[in-house]
Amino acid sequence: MQSIFDYDKQSLIDYFLSIGEKKFKAEQVYSWIYEKRVFNFDDMTNLSLDLRDKLKSTFDISLLEIVRKQESDDTNKYLFKLSDGNFIEAVLMKHDYGNSVCVSSQVGCNMGCAFCESGRLKKVRDLLPGEIVRQILMIEDDYKNRISSVVVMGIGEPFDNYDNVMRFIRIINDPKGIAIGARHITVSTSGLVPKIYEYADEGIQTNLAVSLHAPNNELRSKIMNVNKAYNIDLLIKAVKDYIDKTNRRVTIEYLLLKDVNDTSECAQELADLLKGLNVYVNLIPYNETSHIEFKKSTKENIMNFYDILKKNKINVTIRREFGGDIDAACGQLRASEVERWNHFILQTQER
Ligand code: SAH
Ligand code: SF4
């Protein structure tokens, strides 16, 4: 059975029309779910009993299971179990100006970045649109507060699951739905160049973030396999074309790895690469993980890197660290859960 959460409003209307129902009935169902947060067809009292029965036998309306939750002052981290038993995670970040959620787009990731937990475990499958939507519904329900912005920066490469991610965006952006403004939605890619062009053509006001992490091809190819397919020249050209087309500023993410990409030379090279582009750089302190040997840059190196970019008139911020104490880095919670399971399976097999 297909999940009702996979449907954007238009596709739900199309389905209703195809079974001889009126358009406004589909809108009522959409409003029950996204405005009233009723997740049970029986309670949708303005629909006929017949229609409710029909919907029950056509759509799955179940939510996700929260298997683990780690909470700190500024962050809640959720581990969800999907209906097929796979795990994904999402992070709620509490700011003074509102709450943002970082959602996963795939189970694992095939891009294989050397520093990343999600890449270490490889992609199992793409997430369906409704599985991404439900991460937000579950968190709003649990936290009892509205989410004001969303970043697609959890597990997975969103542009490797492009259509489902775009449908997810349409659902959460719908003013009659969760109603998160396009300007408050950001998609982060490791640099799938053709998809950056496709995204530029969508005609929506959502944001783009690009994980650059190195200022030259030699270094980038060492830590990000994707650079072997789409090198820095192609990537920067795509970013420039995206800005020209959409008139929107792009975020460049730069993860600082100790003694790898955090030197003064790297900072200067990055400044030269980005000069004149309408971008802002977000420096990300690395969240160390137990399986990967990379280390976090020292405070001095982070500040030095920041100063060099500033001196070169590049817009730059240092990302506030969220939930370092609670495995909040991309993929860490899922990785530890998968490991627990593998360990458990191994033990039962040995018996
Ligand atoms: N696949 C997309 C989005 C998910 S990763 C992408 O790569 O952009 C989101 C961000 O988290 C990326 O910039 C990624 O490089 C970064 N990241 C991965 N592992 C991290 C870690 N251990 N600490 C801090 N950031 C990490
Ligand atoms: Fe995938 Fe992004 Fe992790 Fe790279 S950093 S492996 S693209 S999730």
Catalytic residues: 89, 330
> Among 123, 211, 253, which is best to mutate for testing ligand 1, by the most ligand atoms less than 8 A from CB?
211
Of the chain, the end-to-end C-alpha distance in Å amounts to 37
User: Residue 259 C-alpha to ligand 2 middle, in angstroms?
Assistant: 21
Confirm or reject: Cβ of 284 under 6 Å from ligand 1: yes
Give residue 113's Cα distance to chain centre: 16
Confirm or reject: Cβ of 157 under 6 Å from ligand 2: yes
**Residue 20 pLDDT level (bands cut at 50, 70, 90):** very high
* CA dihedral over 141, 63, 158, 67, signed as positive or negative: positive
The mean per-residue pLDDT over the stretch 89-96 comes to 91
- Judged by average pLDDT, the poorest of 9-23, 47-61, 157-171, 286-300 is 286-300
The ligand minimizing its distance to the Cα of 226 is 2
Q: Please give the DSSP secondary-structure letter assigned to residue 160.
A: G
Name residue 151's beta-bridge partners: 102, 186
Q: Please give the DSSP secondary-structure letter assigned to residue 190.
A: S
Q: Of 46, 47, 143, whose CA–CA distance to 92 is shortest?
A: 143
Confirm or reject: Cβ of 211 under 6 Å from ligand 1: yes
Atom 22 of ligand 1: nearest residue by CA position: 287
From CA 203, how far away is CA 211, in angstroms rounded?
Answer: 22
pLDDT tens, residue by residue, 303-349: 999 999 999 999 999 987 755 554 545 455 565 555 555 444 444 44
In the chain, % of residues over pLDDT 90: 84
Token pair 């003694």 is found at 259
Which atom number of ligand 1 is nearest to the Cα of residue 115?
Answer: 19
211 token code pair: 């994980």
User: Residue 54 C-alpha to ligand 1 middle, in angstroms?
Assistant: 43
Task: Give pTM, 2 decimals.
Answer: 0.93
> Among 153, 235, 330, which is best to mutate for testing ligand 2, by the most ligand atoms less than 8 A from CB?
330
Q: What are phi and psi of 83, to 5 degrees?
A: -65, -20
